[in-house]
Amino acid sequence: MNSRVDPVLVEIIRNGVMAVTEEMKTNLMRTAYNMIIYEALDFTVGLFTADAQTISIGLGLPTFIRGMAQTIKAKLEHFGKENIEPGDILLTNDAYITGSHLNHMTFSLPIFHDGELIAFACCMAHWQDVGGTLGGVTTDIFSEGIQIPVIKYARRGVVNQDLVDIIRMNVRIPERAMGDLRAQITAVKTGQRRFLELVSRYGCRQVLDAIAVIMDQSEKAARARTLAIPDGVYEAQSFMDDDGVNICTPIPIKVRVEVKGDEMTIDLSDVSKQVRGFYNSGVTTGHACAQVAFKCLTSPTDYPINDGSFRNLKTIVPPGRIVSATRPAPMRWWMTFPMTVIDTVFKALSDAIPERVIAGHHADLCVSLVHGIDPKDGKFFLAHMGPLGGGWGAKLSEDGVSATVCINDGDTHNSPREQLEAKYPLLIERYALIQDSGGPGRHRGGLGCETVIRALTDVTMNASIDRAHCLPWGLHGGLEGAGNQVLLRREGKWEDERVNAKVLTAQIRKGDAYVLRSGGGGGFGSPLDRPPELVREDVLQGYVSLAAARDYYAVVLDAESLEIDAAATEKERAAAFPAHQARLARQVEPVRRLSTAELSQKAPGHASIPCLRMSCCGMASFEFLEDEQTEISSPLDQAKEGAPRAKRASGFPGEG
């Protein structure tokens, strides 16, 4: 530690900057107009040094960890430090700078002390609407809404009213947009005021030196924990269902992690090239994927979140990938693919540090966007239904959590059902955990959720959900969790199946409904090693059905008393062991969910995950076990009766 800095003062400043960002967060929530900010908490606030190093970020969206810092760097480069003055407020929503979509308006306020620029307060928040087309899949950035370059929203304290008028004219519900704008200004001004109070109380140089010490401490801790990871090169792969344009054409995700001493390199060179559909993100997000994974692995509970934690991390993110897309690639649904990239980094390191990683999670916001005319007042409405929350992967030491928002959105919350019903002509018929959705394992994956939403007037619905077919994987013998799903109910009848979980512009008539189902988390360790007593408890709680206890855990319970039949359980586990071992031999091969046609041939209530009973799923659901060069039907093949199968050697659909 720097001997010039009092260690007591360091801790005061540590907690002080965290308090500042938490107050920024609170004031934004209290003054915002849209539920996606004040209820869902789709925003992040932060303090940054004069050269855009992160000092503290209010807990929020993890993948914003790089976005705000990069935005401030871009503003410094654009204007030059000498042309940024007291009273200025800088703005942009440039997707290729923030790394995300145009909905993320990012305001930065320079903080001056005695005429010197000493820090920035920043707020990136999701606006419900920024113009652009409402439905379908966008294929370029120009159709996604208004683009605001790096610009001064205010100059020397005077607001640029022309800019405000342009924004107002390009959004569908301007009164709410302007309310959120003012809320963001409140947040950054709160950060400015409170940071200057710290400086006034303890001295400018002392505060800045203490911040430097905090970053050095974060670096030291990250290096020590990286050093505990065995040196080596670790790789893993997964895939996304499709890009919404080339339906059921899987998109490969490959990552490479190298650990050498106290440094780590995460190489994303082999993730898919940018795609035609709107699932791309900018290079800032590519680096953020690596940083989020690294933070989780090396210093998940070290606060404040600051740049010191990443000094021993090197990221390789070439341009033109799905997490480093270049203009004019569409980026409206930027958040979906990065969280699977993060999960795949954990998967790569699962053998090296099994105690620090989790199995795969549902990895999607599982939201729907609904718009129409509200019959109560005749006005246009736009409802953001979600995020739903789903199952997270189990760990070496415990079950996965259920009904929890995906890793991209971290501290984001779901919206209260009552508020949604009060504000929009929609009725929530059901919101519940999904039995048997958690991946079976020695430790079970968390459960997914389902919500059924009925339209009380004619509306248009869009859902852009992925990972219906790339199931959340298990680790070290754990099985897969259920995938995500969307289905429509028309005139009282549910549709049987869709080729993916994307519903790109569906007209929902009054009285009709749709269901969103989030996936479960993957299991950790063999389900045949889960103590029968815990399986029985899961059945009592309704997490696992009586049939699934037998089919996946080989635990036999009396149908009435639910007492464990020890002899029958021992026999079932011996019979299931070969099927489980055979699956492990090829666990690198993603296991697809059972189709509706396959489920119709099984006992009622069978989960969508292939089970271990030879008399049920057995080897029939794992054709890839039969031959090295095997033929596997893709989800699109399943949708086309008699369609030829594509050969695939290994890895992910479409390879080979």
Torsion of CA 474, 359, 321, 122, to 10 degrees: 160
∠ CA 6-9-10, nearest 5°, is: 90
User: How high is the pLDDT of residue 633?
Assistant: 33
- Domain presence at residue 359: no
Span 534-555, average pLDDT: 96
CA distance 321 to 582: 35
- Domain presence at residue 373: no
Of these ranges, 267-271, 382-386, 495-499, 632-636, the one predicted with the greatest mean pLDDT is 267-271
Question: In terms of DSSP H, where are the helices of 271-373?
Answer: 283-298, 336-348
Task: Evaluate if residue 643 carries a pLDDT over 60.
Answer: no
Task: Evaluate if residue 318 carries a pLDDT over 60.
Answer: yes
Q: What percent of the chain has pLDDT over 90?
A: 80
**pLDDT band (50, 70, 90) for residue 634:** very low
Q: Checking phi first, is residue 157 left (phi over 0); if not, alpha (psi -120 to 50) or beta?
A: left
User: How high is the pLDDT of residue 587?
Assistant: 64
Nearest to 97 by CA among 70, 125, 126, 63: 70
Task: Evaluate if residue 465 carries a pLDDT over 70.
Answer: yes
- Domain presence at residue 24: yes
Question: Domain span at residue 53?
Answer: 7-221
- Domain presence at residue 23: yes
Buried b or exposed e, range 18-47, using 16+ CB within 10 angstroms: bebbebbbebbeebbbbbbbbbbbbbbbbb
Digit-coded pLDDT (tens) for 12-69:
999 999 999 999 999 999 999 999 899 888 999 999 999 999 999 987 677 777 889 9
- Domain presence at residue 179: yes
Domain count, the chain: 1
Task: Evaluate if residue 100 carries a pLDDT over 50.
Answer: yes
- Domain presence at residue 142: yes
User: How high is the pLDDT of residue 621?
Assistant: 40
Question: In terms of DSSP H, where are the helices of 228-282?
Answer: none
User: How high is the pLDDT of residue 229?
Assistant: 97
User: How high is the pLDDT of residue 603?
Assistant: 86
Question: In terms of DSSP H, where are the helices of 300-436?
Answer: 336-348, 417-423
- Domain presence at residue 504: no
What are 170's two structure tokens? 């390009």
Task: Evaluate if residue 297 carries a pLDDT over 50.
Answer: yes
Decide: 555 and 452 in contact? Cβ < 8 Å: no
**pLDDT band (50, 70, 90) for residue 636:** very low
Span 485-504, average pLDDT: 92
**pLDDT band (50, 70, 90) for residue 588:** low
Q: What is the DSSP string of 490-505?
A: ETTEE----SSSEEEE
**pLDDT band (50, 70, 90) for residue 651:** very low
CA distance 17 to 420: 35
User: How high is the pLDDT of residue 641?
Assistant: 35
Q: If DSSP codes are grouped into helix, strand and coil, which group holds residue 155?
A: strand
Digit-coded pLDDT (tens) for 513-541:
999 999 999 999 999 999 999 999 999 99
Task: Evaluate if residue 625 carries a pLDDT over 60.
Answer: no
Q: Which amino acid is at 290?
A: A
* Residue showing tokens 């890839």: 624
| Average per-residue pLDDT for the chain | 90
CA distance 335 to 32: 22
Task: Evaluate if residue 642 carries a pLDDT over 60.
Answer: no
Buried b or exposed e, range 404-418, using 16+ CB within 10 angstroms: bbbbbbbebebbebe
**pLDDT band (50, 70, 90) for residue 247:** very high
**pLDDT band (50, 70, 90) for residue 154:** very high
Q: What percent of the chain has pLDDT over 70?
A: 93
Task: Evaluate if residue 2 carries a pLDDT over 60.
Answer: no
Q: Which amino acid is at 531?
A: P
- Domain presence at residue 458: no
> Which residues contact residue 584 at a Cβ distance below 8 angstroms, ignoring those fewer than 6 apart?
477
Nearest to 285 by CA among 231, 216, 223, 334: 334
**pLDDT band (50, 70, 90) for residue 77:** very high
User: How high is the pLDDT of residue 33?
Assistant: 95
CA distance 538 to 518: 19
Q: What is the DSSP string of 515-569?
A: EEE---PPPBS-GGGS-HHHHHHHHHHTSS-HHHHHHHH---B-TTT--B-HHHH
Q: What is the DSSP string of 68-109?
A: HHHHHHHHHHHH-GGG--TT-EEEE--HHHHSS-TTEEEEEE
Nearest to 357 by CA among 173, 522, 485, 565: 522
Task: Evaluate if residue 478 carries a pLDDT over 70.
Answer: yes
